[in-house]
Structure 1
Amino acid sequence: MTSGPSKSTAPWSDLLLRNMAELRELYNHASDQFDEDAQADFARLFDGSSRMDEMLRDADSSRHDLMNVLSAVRGYSEILREDLSAEHADIDAALARLLKAVDSANSDSDSTPARASSRRIIHSEPGFILAVDDLQENRELAARYLSRSGHIVVTAASGEEALLTLDQADVDVVLLDLMMPGMDGHEVLRRIKEHPEWRATPVIVISGRQDMDGIIECIEAGADDYLFKPFNPVLLQARIKAGIERKRWHDREELYRQQLERNEKFIRATFGRYLSDEIVTDILERPEGLELGGDLRRVTIMMADIRGFTTISERLAPAQVVTLINRYLGAMTDIIMAHQGTIDEFIGDAILAVFGAPQHRDDDADRAVRCALAMQQAMEEINQRNREDGLPEISTGIALNTGDVIAGNIGSERRSKYGFVGHPMNVTSRIEDVTAGGEILIAGSTLESLQREYRVGQSRELNVKGIDELLQVYPLLGEQS
């Protein structure tokens, strides 16, 4: 309980009770002039007055309970003043004096600001508000106040009910009482701010407690604001307006983020059909990823080609050729990407892939070798499916070579590709030209770059067109057991 005058001797209490007695007398003389709703509101107001009188006489009653009653008195007084017609000027004046007495209670306890602006209208975008309070009169007042401003208001009588509502609806602002039986407001606040989908929801704590430590604790726990009971309705509307705007900004940012994620997934899925995942990532994540130019890289180059494909395709219908080539390229693509290779391009039935760019790894040559072995092993399944579809069996020759190339964006500002330039590319092409179906030939440079042991056949020397030096190559037979 805060310091200051005791409840029984506070100067505002006698004034408030006198004003209430005056209002009751005026109402008794004119009660038949009011409709059922207004009579019900007067009844709730006078009931609050009676309970407040009892609390002021009871030294053991809590300040929190007294503030709840004052909130009810203030709330129903405000509502009645808004609904009164001009012929009830005397009752309106009595209600105004009663509200002034409530303000005296607030001033006496350093509570909410004076209510000089209580009839100011705060224009706000309509929101979905959750009011959490164990007292029905407080829930009802909050709902009536805010509904008049165009908000949709749902209420919860407990912390458990509040969490259930949050799980079922998209709430813009939570009005939260702290002192509740069972799960109190502190626990509700903690769970809201720890929940990944609720944490951005603004929470305004409304409490009769005015101790500074409690206020700081709520703010540190994530509360967006803290209002004292009896709250100023205009101040509450201003807080709610700010909360709704924050929530709307968050929702728009979240929607924008989701759209960006969907767009990025679409870009990756679409361009991933034409470029390797690493190249797509390089383009999307680095601003310089689209700049023309390149740098020197040590890579292992792979070239694979179906033997005699031109002759095979001449005997097939166009649709059969497409089925045959797509089946082969699809299977080979999956294997190359599984071994983190970069597919540079498809040239008809030929595949050009590189291991070591755009991202270098210490085992580039080993992955290229293991990839080539896996590609040849996959040919058995491909040919099994070809036989089932009445298509001819095929075989592929694969060449591997390691050397220094320029890797980067090649072309013009209007059209470019991530590619590779250098003598090792030509050497690899020449080695691939002499491979037989089902064979893997690796250059001596690749064999020297391997970290693991592999079985290779007798070395060969190749004298090929366009290459001055003799090429030393080795048939790759498999991994060393």
Structure 2
Amino acid sequence: MSHTPTKHQGAALWSDVIRRVIVELRGLFSDIRSRLDEAAIDDMEHLLDAAQRLECMLGVSQDSDAAHDMMNVLAAMRGYAEMLLEDLGPAHQPIADALKRLLSAIETAHTEETGIEPGADQRTIATDPGFILAVDDLQENRELVARYLSRSGHFVVTAANGEEALSTLGESDVDVVLLDLVMPGMDGREVLRRIKEHPEYRATPVIVISGRQDMDGIIECIEAGADDYLFKPFNPVLLQARIKAGIERKRWHDREEQYRQQLERNEKFIRATFGRYLSDEIVTDILERPEGLELGGDLREVTIMMSDIRGFTTLSERLAPAQVVTMLNRYLGKMTDIILAHQGTIDEFIGDAILAVFGAPQKRDDDADRAVKCALAMQAAMEEINAENVADGLPAVATGIALNTGKVIAGNIGSERRSKYGFVGHPMNVTSRIEDLSAGGEILLSDSTFRKLSHRYPVCDTRELKVKGIDELVTVHRIEAATDG
């Protein structure tokens, strides 16, 4: 009556085959050693050495560590046997036949010990060359993986422990990590955890290769971020397929990262370039909300600021063009910094005149107060500007500033080919008229702005003005300085 062999009986079957084949290989090797090249001799000696270690392990009770060690030995034997088969020519057919029987027995051993069919597919998986890091505490495993993958066109570096692996990752752009779990010191699980927690190489695919068939361990590694898990002795074709998938994932990530960095560089360039012409808030609004480029606007209550240099036209007629530009750039540069520091939106420069708005595109509760503080800071800065002008042989200048609060249309104005973020409405005209009446060194603000202030400021010379183009009288106040609070 037939029956299914137990695991112990199965191990006896494949181990007997391996023993017989190894005895045969020793005899054949002794006969043809002098006709083999140095590399083949070295591989055969490694194969026989691994077979001797396997012999010591057979028959010994197998805990998880011992089973892992046996899978390592079987993997080494398989690797050296496959290398020899590739290198030996037709003149060595008897030894090639023996190596094929050995590989068949190793596959049987793998199936008996793990319950997993390794397969005998020997196809070559076409893939782009990659930078592979093989981490294993056993030198023969590292050498075999490096030789095998190098033959497939990959560049392979190895590490004998976790510390070496992390150091290599920090110094090189690795495409795929092949990671053994059981290593002295820092084990594979700790290496995996550190790789996946590191911001610079967490995207590097990690394929765990282990002799342990522990389902809980496999799940733990996958949950920790491992991209795949292979058992020793691994199927070379399966390893090729896993590496190909890992390289493709890494290349996609690298392209996405390059694209993201390019977008960041482009955004910085846009902010730096257009920030010279638009306020930071407008540039941000355009970048983060593409519909912000659409023509149109909405009704906003804003505080408008207009300022210019008194008598600038006459001054510019007496100065050389280079002197005019120097004086104007110095003035506008200082004023721009002050306005932006107070979160104002610079609408435009018209010669020496500045038009700025507080309350659009972003409205704040203290728009009127910030406008007044900004105007005071601008007048205070004139002392430094004039000191620099005099040092350069340029005349001292004085500015008049007007502030007015009202409702305007704020938005993108113009055409599809040429537009700007601007403001339209009656309060703009009122502000312009008040600014025309301001003297050098003065800050005039309309009553509508004065009533919006939450802080107290010393007000001088309140008066009603009849301004051109406006029927009603306009009440204005002159402010000199802010008080505490």
Is TM-score (shorter-chain normalized) higher than 0.5?
yes
- Indicate if the aligned counterparts of 1:48 and 1:73 stay in contact, CA closer than 8 A: yes
Selected match of 2:43 from 41, 48, 60: 41
Q: Residues of 2 paired with 1:7 and 1:107: CA distance?
A: 13
Using the alignment, how far apart are the partners of 1:274 and 1:173 within structure 2? 47
Are residue 468 (structure 1) and residue 447 (structure 2) matched?
no
Residue identity matched to 2:49:
D
Write the deviation string for residues 2-28 of structure 1: whole angstroms up to 9, x where unpaired.
xx7349954322122222222222222
Q: Which residue of 2 aligns with 1:59?
A: 61
Q: Is residue 85 of structure 2 the alignment partner of residue 71 of structure 1?
A: no
Which letter maps to 1:66? M
Please show how residues 202-281 of structure 1 align to structure 2 within 5 Å. Answer: 202-281=205-284
Contact in 1 for aligned 2:404/2:449 (Cα 8 Å): yes
1:8–1:56 contact (8 Å) kept in structure 2? no
Moved more, 223-232 or 21-30: 21-30
Residue matched to 2:379: 376
Q: 1:26 aligns with which of 2, 6, 28?
A: 28
Query: SS at the partner of 1:479?
Result: coil
Correspondence 1:139 to 2:145: no
CA contact (8 A) 2:464 2:476 kept: yes
Check whether the contact 1:7–1:13 (CA below 8 A) recurs between aligned residues: no
Query: By how many angstroms is 1:448 displaced?
Result: 0.8
Which whole-Å CA distance do the structure 1 matches of 2:348 and 2:385 have between them? 21
Secondary structure at 1:103 match in 2: helix
Compute the displacement of 1:126 (Å).
0.5
Q: Which residue of 2 aligns with 1:92?
A: 96
Counterpart residue type for residue 124 of structure 1? T
Q: For 1:404, which of 395, 402, 407 is the aligned residue? A: 407
Residue equivalent to 1:478: 481
Residue 139 of structure 1 and its aligned partner are, at CA, apart by: 0.5
Q: Is the 8 A contact 1:365 1:446 kept in 2?
A: yes
Report the CA distance between 1:415 and its aligned residue: 0.6
Aligned-partner Cα distance in 2 for 1:123–1:221: 29
Which residue identity is paired with 1:297?
R
Tell me if structure 2 keeps the 8 A contact 1:112–1:230.
no
1:321 to 2:310 alignment: no
Instruction: State how 1:169-208 maps to structure 2 within 5 Å.
Output: 169-208=172-211
Measured on the aligned residues, the alpha-carbon RMSD in Å equals 1.3
Secondary structure at 1:449 match in 2 = coil
What SS does structure 2 have at the residue aligned with 1:275?
coil
- In structure 2, how many angstroms separate the alpha carbons of the residues matched to 1:9 and 1:229? 16
Q: Does 1:434 align with 2:437?
A: yes
Distance 1:353 1:308, change over 3 A: same
**Are residue 389 (structure 1) and residue 389 (structure 2) matched?**
no
Residues 402, 431 of structure 2: 8 Å contact kept = yes
Q: Aligned partners of 1:175 and 1:251: how far apart in 2?
A: 19
Structure 2: segments with no counterpart, 5+ residues: 1-5
Question: Displacement, 1:456?
Answer: 1.3
Instruction: Specify the code of the residue in structure 1 equivalent to 2:465.
Output: L
Deviation at 1:234, TM superposition (A): 1.1
- Does residue 106 of structure 2 align to residue 110 of structure 1? no
- Whether 2:340 is the aligned partner of 1:359: answer no
State the match for 2:129 in structure 1. 126
What SS does structure 2 have at the residue aligned with 1:199? coil
Distance in 2 (CA, whole Å) between partners of 1:8 and 1:420 is 88
Amino acid at match of 1:412: S
C-alpha separation between the residues in 2 aligned to 1:371 and 1:6?
A: 89
SS in 2 for 1:457: strand
Partners of 1:394 and 1:103 in 2: CA distance: 93
**In structure 1, what is the Cα distance between the partners aligned to 2:95 and 2:472?**
111
Does the 8 A contact of 2:11 with 2:112 survive in 1?
Answer: no
SS in 1 for 2:458: strand
CA distance in 1 between partners of 2:120 and 2:289 (Å): 58
Of 329, 332, 342, the residue aligned with 1:339 is: 342
Q: Is the contact made by 1:193 and 1:221 (CA closer than 8 Å) also made in structure 2?
A: yes
Indicate how the Cα distance of structure 1 residues 322 and 112 shifts in structure 2: closer, same or farther if over 3 A, else same.
farther
The alpha-carbon distance between structure 1 residues 254 and 9, as it changes in their structure 2 partners (threshold 3 A), is closer
1:58 positional shift = 3.1
| CA-CA distance at 1:315 after TM superposition | 1.2
For 1:55, the aligned partner's letter is M
| 1:420 is the counterpart of 2:423 | yes
Counterpart secondary structure, 1:109: helix
- Quick one: structure 1 residues 113 and 451, their matched pair in 2 at CA, closer, same or farther if it must change by over 3 Å? farther
Aligned residue pairs total: 477
Structure 1 residue runs of 5 or longer lacking an equivalent are: none
TM-score, structure 2 normalization: 0.96
Match for residue 15 of structure 1? 17
CA distance in 2, matches of 1:196, 1:375: 46
Kept after mapping to 2: 8 A contact 1:462/1:470:
yes
Cα shift readout 1:363-388 (whole Å, capped 9, x = no counterpart): 11111111111111111111111111
Residue 112 of structure 1 contacts residue 231 of structure 1 at CA under 8 Å; is this kept in 2?
no
Separation of aligned partners in 2, 1:113 and 1:460:
98
Matches for 1:140-159 after TM superposition, within 5 Å: 140-159=143-162
CA distance in 1, matches of 2:261, 2:460: 55
Tell me how far apart the structure 1 counterparts of residues 9 and 225 of structure 2 sit (CA, whole Å): 32
Query: 2:466, 2:473 within 8 Å by CA — same for their partners in 1?
Result: yes
Equivalent residue in structure 2 for 1:5, among 7, 31, 34: 7
Q: Does structure 1 retain, via aligned residues, the 8 Å contact 2:118–2:234?
A: no
Q: 1:60 Cα deviation (Å)? A: 6.0
Offset at residue 480 of structure 1 (A): 1.8
- For the 8 Å contact 1:113–1:232, the answer to whether it is kept is no
Secondary structure of the residue aligned to 1:458 is strand
2:3 equivalent in structure 1: none
d(CA) in 2 for partners of 1:353, 1:11: 91
CA distance in 1, matches of 2:113, 2:67: 10
1:83 pairs with one of 67, 87, 99: 87
Q: What is the one-letter code of the residue matched to 1:192?
A: I
Q: Could you tell me how far apart the structure 2 residues matched to 1:131 and 1:113 are?
A: 24
CA deviation vs aligned residue, 1:243-285 (integer Å, no higher than 9, x gap) = 0010000000100110111011111111111111111111111
User: Which one is further off, 41-50 or 443-452?
Assistant: 443-452
**One-letter amino acid of the counterpart of residue 427, structure 1:** V
